[in-house]
Structure 1
């Protein structure tokens, strides 16, 4: 309160500087009146991050803990460049990414393994051991026979790289840094020591010779020991009382909660009153309450991803600033609450003291031991032991009665942990699409749609295989999954001119958590819900969910984008891709006209690349076949043929505007018979042909019923044929 008052007065008199001075004076007044809280033990680290400092201590970890570690070896950042485009006068785009290799020391004793890994607060490695970012992770548990890491050996030289036996460390090789701003992220590791139940003997083992320390630490799930052993023992003793015995050949540390406490002999009388106790040898007192009682416990909460937690004892706070116990252990909120409740309860009962003089030496009666006192209720703990001429003088503190502690529940609080979703394997569909009329159509428009069953899939790198087995990088997918799947039934044939109300198709999406939506007629006319089914582009107005990722599509527009030739060629199991979902464009200049080209994708969850052929080859540069066939027999027996051309990329019929050509020249082939082996053919530059009467009669006589068809010849390919008539 004084801080607020003096800060307001200082601001009114001297502005911001006066406010700062007033706040400083007020804080001193508050401290003098209220006091300042003290701490027991080293301050807990607020989830420190990985650093690299010479001389820094490497802690020993027991149970499960979240630690930062220390970088002991690293390479420079490695730059990777990826150039796309640049063919046929088009500008090229170069993107850069970076990776790094480094090693992080985690513990100065062997461990059982590593659990999760956090990078900048997000999961880099999940609980199942999956790495969320591209790279390789190798874990060395610190065994006495572990070999040196091959990457470190290759970099430093044979015989110059230690194996770090006795030290647990992790090696990252070619860790991609794009998700972390192209820098090394701040890492923390979940270290699993392998101990199922902690015991003080595990902590003292190998540090002190000639010691027995069998003290269960039941409420602790993990513990970090950094610095002198005496410090960690003092911190543990604040919440778990221990009993030390040095009467034998070795130091023995036992639990202070003895199951069979020793019984004191009767008090020894003394002639004069020596100040320790009256002549009876017994004096009972009640000490005043502590000025700063321990009421707070800071720890690492395992239910909050090892974030520091704070538990306070039940009841009305004591006057003054409470003492805070800093305990470097991992525990649940309930266990931490139980520990601070027990510690505070012991402190309150210890206000009852008893001075007791005895004439016999009993090895079981030593500082820290629990004893029974004749004629006194409950158990007492030996706090001081002194041998004097009048006898052995014991100072005893009352121990809380067993079974009377109130069980208090506790809650760790709410946390929004990073999602630990499985990566899953990549599923891929690659295909050509029609030219939309924008930009250049000199190269095929190849799209790659990638997805996965797992919601945690985070994208994949794309490669092009020209048929020789060499993978050429062509970019990467986004982190979002495309909506892909496969047909559960074969779609029947329909008309490309009318809304298909008769046919329907069932599909199964790869990811059952994805969905499709219904659209209105206006939205359908604007191109909504476009999808590739097999090699036909369709649109659908209604999508009915059938459960478990299955959908029924109805209200179809067929043969969109010049794919009418595939209307009657559907099969069950053919791929489905929602084109509205943003598939990734692959550089068509690299694909070219290579019929052997395939597209491959490699994600973080893929053991092998997912490689697929490119469907709908030639669709981008193939001219659309003509429409509106016209046949008119003339009076002299000749045959007048006509048709209307269409153009790639000109999907809207504009009034009072001629359809653009989008080819180097206008050219058609009119032929009689099958397209592969025509019996007669004419090449034209106009959309009309008159077959003379004699020619028509000769062809009809030699090939009765033969089809007469026309196709447009484009700059890169020829269109599918249009049937004009049959000879008769």
Structure 2
């Protein structure tokens, strides 16, 4: 519309601003000043990554959208090292971790908040505002009273800018272990003032008013390049705009379906004018051909985490000369499809054009007005006017009111990283019977580090002595399989595999799984489960849903834990799968009275602590078995038993288990094991008491039990009941 800019509005406003005003007409724009509406301006981009380079624009953000941001300040990588282990021939392990502090500019206008943050495509910050890795995040909204960030001020000094008018975030000590010890590619979900008011905000940049120009379908917009005139021209493709000048002030207005009576143009005025066309003052024409027809719209789809989406106009496929509109805005799939369908229909309607000449102009009519024309059917929209010496010439296009019905659209599916809340670390520490591998003096202590279902990336393990924490190891992110018993488990002698025996177990992590095992695999040590202090094995594992498993085919009392099997277990007893997911503690680790083990994960403000269960079990012998007693004709008592050895769980046929202690020794007692009335030490698995000794002991200690326990190089076994004196007297 060269006539609009070069004529009335250009004269009224003048200067460069007159050109900007003309640009707001969209389809009625002055091609000579701002070019076609298809000229390059703000453009939709694929998901970018944060960069730092001179001259890179910081976009102005509206509504809800996703932006990569620009790194405006950063520290060098900070290295931390932590040493653990060592002693008893084992090397000390030094682990290194790195962190960085940086500031990222997001928007050149104030924002309301920062939502999710992605790092290398994975969530770094969830919807709840939780960081998925170590570090601290501070958000600066960019308002006029914004103060310098304290970390940046401490590093830069008094010259540190407050960056007022620029929204940015600061990461302090962002842990880089999850990103290969480098700064990851970041992108941010930003929430700013509603994008539905984009047109008034842009119009205000050119000192223009705006009314009836809301864009309700627009949920977000990225103004990264192009003048305000180009932005308005782009909006006009989807939401038609017009320029009016009530009271001599230019105003941007949206074109809406009129209500009430539609104005009727006066009859055309006829005079000779070669440039206009026919002398009768009217010309009806129609452009032909599909050149430049809008066939599709590319936009940002919030359902797909703001990845670009594409919606096509109904019945139109991309072809030569047809256009895909790149719009850097956020729409729902249905809104995007409805908008491109209406825009395509409007372009079809705009091919029918009407030139109308009249002697004078009604002040209520102007560009954007919807009118009727004598002798013409339907409605027409004024797209421009031109003053002539004898009157005014109008240019009009066919107007058809858009359908209020929305067109359903589908944005398709996209991979979305899981946004799971951080969960607290579960810690259990225990000592197991020696398994016969390595030195018999070794101590086999383990830690089960795990967590319930949720986000958990491991935890650091410490020894807690008073208020001090001594680092031991770093565990994770593989979780130990642990849980609790749902039902009571009755006593069992643990002599053989019981196919009918079952237990129900609720795992901490509902996503963990258990596997069945054959009897051969059980014989080789598969499916060992520590329930309370008992080691058992299971042959079948059946999930019941929700992390609950039914285990069947139990082999109880493994590893010398027959006493624990005979005691049974109450509901709620902890259970842990004994496999490679456990973390072994240093064999030379000393735990004084009151010392505990502690773990700290991302979800912990305070350490999670646990006491070592069954301390000393690795070096404690299993109690002897097969008690025997007999009295000969003279009244002498012969006691016998069968020894066992640590690590000898295979029960080899016809072969005695090798003794791993320095000497073979037994302690036979009478009465309570803690305070025996009599005690004998023997080096063979038998003891003979003469008839006189039996008679004397029976008289002094009637009803007292006789028992035996094996003495090892480091500890004694639990006692085995042998006989009771009164029954033998």
Q: Same fold (TM over 0.5)?
A: yes
What pairs with 1:423-438 in structure 2 (closer than 5 Å)?
A: 423-438=422-437
How big is the shift at 1:191? 0.8
Give the alignment of 1:8-47 within 5 angstroms. Answer: 41-47=41-47
Count of aligned pairs between the two proteins = 688
> Which position in structure 2 is the counterpart of 1:410?
409
Aligned-pair distance for 1:69? 0.7
Q: Distance in 1 between matches of 2:493 and 2:319?
A: 87
Change (3 A) 1:706 1:625: same
Specify the alignment match of 2:19 in structure 1.
none
* In 2: Cα distance, 1:594 partner to 1:318 partner: 77
In structure 1, what is the equivalent of residue 320 of structure 2? 320
Aligned to 2:65: 65
Q: 2:462 aligns with which of 464, 485, 488?
A: 464
- 1:200 is matched with 199
Residues of 1 paired with 2:89 and 2:480: CA distance? Answer: 31
| Structure 2: gaps (5+ residues) | 1-37
Corresponding residue for residue 294 of structure 1: 294
Q: C-alpha deviations, 1:643-680, integer Å up to 9, x for none?
A: 33322222112346542333344333232222221223
Q: 1:353 to 1:501 in 2, by over 3 A?
A: closer
Q: Is contact 1:494–1:558 with CA below 8 Å preserved after alignment? A: yes
Taking a change above 3 Å as real, the CA distance of residues 105 and 273 of structure 1, as seen in their structure-2 partners, is closer
Bigger shift: residues 312-321 or 387-396: 312-321
Q: Give yes or no for contact 1:138–1:172 (8 Å, CA) kept in 2.
A: yes
Moved more, 87-96 or 436-445: 436-445
* Partner SS state of residue 474, structure 1: strand
Mean CA deviation greater in 79-88 or 278-287: 79-88
Q: Which moved more, 1:443-452 or 1:352-361?
A: 443-452
| Residue from 649, 658, 661 that aligns with 1:660 | 658
Matches within 5 A, 1:567-578: 567-578=565-576
Deviation of 1:299 after TM superposition, in Å, equals 1.2
The 5 Å alignment of 1:254-653 reads 254-260=253-259, 263=263, 265-317=265-317, 320-399=320-399, 401-403=400-402, 408-440=407-439, 442=441, 444-454=443-453, 456-500=454-498, 504-516=502-514, 518-543=516-541, 548-580=546-578, 582-589=580-587, 591-633=589-631, 637-653=635-651
- TM-score, with structure 2 as normaliser: 0.86
2:88 aligns with: 88
Q: Summarize the Cα distance change of 1:313–1:571 in structure 2 as closer, same or farther, 3 Å threshold.
A: same
Aligned to 2:698: 700
- CA distance in structure 2 between the partners assigned to 1:308 and 1:321 by the alignment: 23
Q: 1:136 to 1:621 in 2, by over 3 A?
A: farther
3-state SS of 2:371 partner = strand
| 2:186 corresponds to | 187
For residue 194 of structure 2, give the secondary structure of its aligned residue in structure 1: coil
Which stretch of structure 1 is more off in the superposition, 320-329 or 505-514?
Answer: 505-514
Do 2:42 and 2:231's aligned partners in 1 also have CA atoms closer than 8 Å?
Answer: no
C-alpha deviations, 1:407-446, integer Å up to 9, x for none?
A: 6433212222222233333333222222222234555333
Q: 1:204 to 1:664 in 2, by over 3 A?
A: farther
Alignment correspondent of 1:8: none
> How far 1:72 sits from its partner (Å)?
2.1
Kindly indicate whether the alpha-carbon contact (under 8 Å) linking 1:270 and 1:390 is maintained by their aligned counterparts in 2.
no
How far apart, CA to CA, are the structure 1 residues paired with 2:231 and 2:467? 60
Instruction: Give the CA deviation at 1:394.
Output: 1.4
Corresponding residue for residue 28 of structure 2:
none
Give CA-to-partner distance per residue, 1:423-475, whole Å, 9 cap, x none. Answer: 33333322222222223455533323244333x32233132333313223333
Flag the 1:507–1:135 CA change in 2: closer, same or farther, 3 A.
same
Displacement, 1:94? Answer: 3.0
Deviations 1:138-157 (A, max 9, x none): 32333444444343344344
Deviation at 1:334, TM superposition (A): 1.9
- Post-superposition offset of 1:614: 2.1
Structure 2 partner of 1:120: 120
3-state DSSP of counterpart to 1:700: helix
- Partners in 2 of 1:322 and 1:725 — Cα distance? 101
- Compared CA separation, residues 300 and 236, structure 1 to 2 (3 A): same
Does the Cα contact within 8 Å between 2:462 and 2:473 map onto a contact in 1?
no
Change (3 A) 1:552 1:410: closer
2:162 paired with 1:171: no
TM-score of the two chains, using structure 1 as the length reference: 0.86
Partner secondary structure for residue 292 of structure 2 = coil
* Change over 3 Å in CA distance of 1:161–1:614 after alignment to 2: farther
**Structure 1 match to 2:720:** 722
Choose 254-263 or 49-58, whichever is displaced more.
254-263
Instruction: Tell me the alpha carbon deviations over residues 465-509 of structure 1, each in whole angstroms, 9 at most, x when there is no partner.
Output: 333132233333333443322223432222021345786544433
Partner of residue 711 from structure 2, selected from 710, 713, 725: 713
Change (3 A) 1:585 1:469: same
Aligned to 1:31: none
Structure 2 residue 155 is the aligned partner of structure 1 residue 152: no
Q: CA, structure 1 residues 210+681, in 2 after alignment: closer, same or farther (shift >3 Å)?
A: same
Counterpart position of 2:216: 218
State the Cα distance separating 1:258 from its structure 2 match: 4.9
- Deviation of 1:358 (Å): 1.6
For residue 642 of structure 1, give the secondary structure of its aligned residue in structure 2.
strand
Find the aligned partners of 1:223 and 1:146 in 2 and give their Cα distance: 24
1:669 corresponds to 2:670 = no
Q: What corresponds to 2:13 in structure 1?
A: none
Q: Unaligned stretches of 5+ in structure 1?
A: 1-37
| More off after superposition, 177-186 vs 366-375 | 366-375
Tell me the equivalent position of 1:4.
Answer: none
